[in-house]
Structure 1
Amino acid sequence: MSKFYDFSAETLDGKPAPLSDYRDKVVLIVNTASKCGFTPQYDGLELLWSKYRDRGLVVLGFPCNQFGAQEPGDAAEIASFCSLTYEVDFPMMRKIDVNGPAAHPLYAWLKTQKKGVLGTSGIKWNFTKFLIDRSGRVVDRFAPTVEPKALEGAIERLL
């Protein structure tokens, strides 16, 4: 069994979100920010969620303020921004760190499973994406510059 299902997060409204709830789903994990040049990717992430969720895709957003302080808001502000500006309906988690000693344990693990450019492990910027298959295995990592629409082929193969 994959270690992926052993992790837990917390939703923006403070509820526990054990990743075991997503067993047998394809999961796209994204570190997000509300004031980033890549923030419009929320639209594409929402489109992926709408198009594929009935087939087993889950998109999980993890707000992070580690890159240019581009996610300064609290949970209520993030929820309001995502809902009102991008009509985000996919699950959003509490703000976390993705790098450094306070990195969320999920991200510490994700970075060991799929390296970034030139074999680096650290998350370089907002909207880095990890694609998890139905068995909880990390199958790919995508740079922030990769638009959500470009992930459709990889998602289709896993569904």
Structure 2
Amino acid sequence: MTPVRIAFVAALVLASAAAAATLAPFEPGDWETTTKAHFDFAPGTPPMVARMLAAQTAAPQVRHHCVTAADLAVSPGSVLAISGGICHYRKSSFADGHMALQTECNGANGEHTITDVVGNYTPTSFTATGSKKGDSQPGTAMTIVTSGRRTGSCTG
């Protein structure tokens, strides 16, 4: 093999490795996510507020959503579908089946929250746990457990 050909093959290998490193860790398609939240209330939280929030989060929420290759190119975290459109990822890391993200959300009610999420993933599934603290109830924390699985191609 000539030196020029060796250099060309080496360049192709490096380009392929770089492209693979930028690919999303998930496959596009229809994803089902199941989310369950639990509150750890701050001392002094009014009992009525605690009961109301506990009732709202008693049952897991199951959601289907289509995640495209374009969505994944912008944010691999789009598979988690935890934002409801009011959040953005401040940081995200996906490597060797482990993920770590930090979201910042500004709710319609003016609530500002930061959520740290850690978990494990494969190209077609994930499990993640998030710890969320808001500005309005200092000391109150919410733990969010989310799991997801790719159920097939997007329909619609």
TM-score, with length taken from structure 1? 0.26
Higher helix proportion (structure 1 or 2): 1
Structure with the larger strand share: 2
TM-score norm. by structure 2 comes to 0.26
Higher radius of gyration, 1 or 2: 2
